[in-house]
A and B are shown apart, each in its own frame.
Chain A
Amino acid sequence: MISGSKPTVVGIADMKMAQNGGKLITYALGSCIGLCFYDPRLKLAALLHIMLPLNMETGRKNPLKYADSGIRETLRAMEAKGALRSRIVVKAAGGAKMFDVGGKGSLGNIGQRNIESVRMVLKKEGLRLIAEDVGGSVARTLLFDSDTGMATVQSYGKPHMTI
């Protein structure tokens, strides 16, 4: 993919990679979290869109849906392309609380639980989380540039932010 071309779309519970100027985008992160992985030496970028904190499914058909299995799966894919764990840096955006729901149940806390799980799993895997824009109550669209390793966060009614 050449620089300036249309970004590759990363869906929900999905991960895509780009290299040497290719761009990646994931839309409307609410309680979900978008994770930008970058190996600056190779200019190799991966964007992961997770929905839930921990994979407790028996079948494990969809590892990219969860923070723990999604991060490991992304690492595996990057390492297969020659990336080194010691060089990889990570940026995260999302984990918002879209509705203020009272009553029983953990519905409103999914975003916060995702944030905590992401931080914990990254630490356990020895990856550096160098920037984040998480929490709050607004949705975020996340654009990631493999040329610079910069990520842009766009929210409704707010100026763009680069992390």
Chain B
Amino acid sequence: MNIKNYEDLSELEIDTLREIGSIGTGNAATALSQMLGREIRITLPEVRIMGYNEAIDWIGGPEVITAGVLVSISGEINGIMLAVQPLEFVNLIMETMLDKSLADYTEMGDMERSALIEIGNIMISTFINALSGLAGMSLELTVPSMSIDMQGALLAVPMAAYGGQTDYLMTIGANFIAANKEVPCQLLLSPDIRSLNHLLRKLGVEE
């Protein structure tokens, strides 16, 4: 049976998606950890299905300025992957790679920007590689794009992309932990609904 809405997902299907989030985010953390030369772990991954305004509250309000790196996925499944990089995460990268920290995003220059895009891109690609390996699918990724702006407007990008199919935003992702401190950096995968059916079928959990 094909689902028509995110709300139709069964417990088993949600568990499977959470497992994907766990493996994907775990691999991304390992890649990040190798780049930074320090231990990075992840929090318990979550699968969330949220109304638009609920999603904005969940990320921490609409107007907070955040960096986001976005990659569009195509091939056997279509989706958007967004790495939301709050200032705390940015500074973890800056301190480790460039030995500096920023008071806010206006202090970011070209070098800081490209470092963050690259980190975001590697984390996203690692996640997607793990996903395509698990499901035996080949997927194409676009070149990463970065935006530093109000996080409500960044989160609205996956919402608008699938807004014709659903009134909800589905995200699969987790936060990172560095030096025993939780550093917020959400790695969010938003699949479209047709792709979600295909993915679940490939993983053999379709009911």
Contacts and interface: CB of A to CB of B under 8 A. Distances in A.
Contact of A98 (B72, B147, B164, B167): B147
Interface stretch (B32-40, B62-70, B94-102): B62-70
B160 A156 contact: no
A27 B152 contact: yes
* Chain A contact residues: helix, strand, loop or mixed: loop
- Binding site secondary structure of chain B: mixed
B63 A12 contact: no
Contacts of B70: 99, 101
Contacts of B152: 27-28, 30, 139
B52 A13 contact: yes
Interface in B145-189: 145-154, 156-157, 159-161, 163-164, 167
Given A28-B152, A28-B153, A30-B156, A52 B74 contact: no
Contact of A29 (B72, B80, B153): B153
A146 interface: no
Given A12-B53, A61-B167, A156-B150, A30 B72 contact: no
Interface in A62-79: 62, 65
A27 B53 CA distance: 11
A157 B106 contact: yes
A30 B163 CA distance: 14
A11 B167 CA distance: 13
B2 interface: no
Contacts of B149: 30, 98, 138-139, 156
Interface of A: 11-14, 27-32, 51-52, 56-57, 61-62, 65, 96, 98-105, 107, 110, 137-139, 141, 156-157
Given A31-B157, A52-B164, 12 more contacts: A13-B167, A27-B56, A28-B156, A30-B150, A30-B157, A31-B156, A101-B145, A105-B78, A110-B160, A110-B161, A137-B147, A156-B149
The 10 A-B residue pairs with the shortest CB-CB distance, nearest first, are A28-B152, A30-B153, A139-B153, A27-B62, A28-B62, A28-B150, A103-B142, A11-B53, A139-B150, A12-B52
